[in-house]
Amino acid sequence: MISVADTKVSNSYDNLIDFLHKTKPSLESLPQILFVVSQDSYEFGVVSDLYKTAYKKSADPYEIVVFVAEPGDLDNFQNEAGNLDMFAAQKLFIIKSGVTFFKPWLGKTKSKTSPKSFSVPETVRILIHYDHWDLPKELISIFGDKVSHFKSSKIFPDKRKEAFLRASKEVEVKLDDEAEEEFLLKVNPSAGAYLKNLEKLKLYLGKKSFNLADLKEVLFQSSEFSSSEIVDYFFEKDYGRFSREFSKFKIGKDSLLIFLSLVKDHLDKLRIYKIILRMYDKVLSEKEQSDLLGIGAYSPARKNHTFKRLRKESSAFNDLEIKELYEFLLEMNQKIKTGSEKEETVYYFFRKMEDFFHPRNRTVRTR
């Protein structure tokens, strides 16, 4: 059993990057009560995944209870947080929309029954997304000295280099000097934005070292056409958004090869995942599956998102479609490299993509 007295926590962290730097995905390392003070749900998602991972690794039975600020949720939380469960030695309470959730405890809206203090058993942890730019001292005082928090505020210019380097270390990537300068100049100076954009680079390009051209390709595209977005629309089989995005494509300015490269990378993952799902789903651990898919170094949030996406796509794309896609990629690669991305090549590409969205237009094949 975990003793809160042994838990190594700080009352506050500079931001999400500082929190990740000072904690580990183990219950002993995580604060008992943590407020994520951020209007960015991405940051809260990263932290909640960290807590969930820690509970999965725990040897004790546990229960996770989520509250979303619906009527009656605050009363239910007060009742459940103070009651131990003989079947779940550990409990994690995840509270979303914290501003609305705790409104009856604070200020002019305070109810007559609002507590002056609120304590929880040592086996309970509470994670709150306080969707605001600040955390009221009144709320901190109710929970007492077990409260920890971090705020998602703008990073001051003299701290941006340090924050960027810490974020790069967390995501396990490296940017060359020119790319680093461009990143610090153009990316919103917040911990969440730094982590999100570095993870995006790693996800879409499948490597760990990046230059200025990589940033322009993925984060700061010079044209309105987005290769990464159109890949998402393709694998979601969303023809409307796919065609609208493709209408922005400009010959001589945008490149089909970037799109085809991103499609191949994701198609490789989908093919491997379908094999895992069919033959090894009950045999391989999540870590082994992640390593085979090349996503072992992803953050818990990104890894979970990728697994959900692949699970959905494995039903949407059958083996024949995947085989035909590989054949199409080889065909287009040869067409472009032996010729050019001229109007007829781009038109041919789009017509073939329409066939993938509308299988009824395809010649029936049997095996």
pTM over 0.75: no
Q: Which residues of 164-199 are buried (b: 16+ CB within 10 A; e: fewer)?
A: bebbbebbebebeeebbebbbeebebbbbbbbbbbb
Neighbouring C-beta atoms of residue 298, cutoff 10 Å:
20
pLDDT digits (tens, 9 = 90+) for 254-306: 788 888 888 999 999 999 999 999 888 888 888 899 999 988 877 777 788 88
Tell me, yes or no, if the two domains 12-151 and 227-357 fold the same way. no
Q: If residue 51 lies in a helix (H) or strand (E), which one and from where to where?
A: helix 41-57
The CATH number of the structural domain formed by 12-151 is 3.40.50.300
CA distance 160 to 97: 29
Q: What is the pLDDT of residues 89-120, one digit of tens each?
A: 689 999 999 999 999 998 877 888 788 888 88
Please give the share of the chain, as a percent, with pLDDT higher than 90: 30
DSSP letters along 175-235, please?
E-HHHHHHHHHHS-SSHHHHHHHHHHHHHHH--SEE-HHHHHHHTS-SSS--HHHHHHHHH
Q: How far apart are CA 49 and CA 29, in angstroms?
A: 14
The arrangement of secondary structure in 227-357, i.e. its CATH architecture, is Up-down Bundle (1.20)
Strand partners, 250: none
Residue-range domain boundaries for the chain:
12-151, 157-219, 227-357
Q: How many CB atoms sit inside 10 A of residue 108's CB?
A: 5
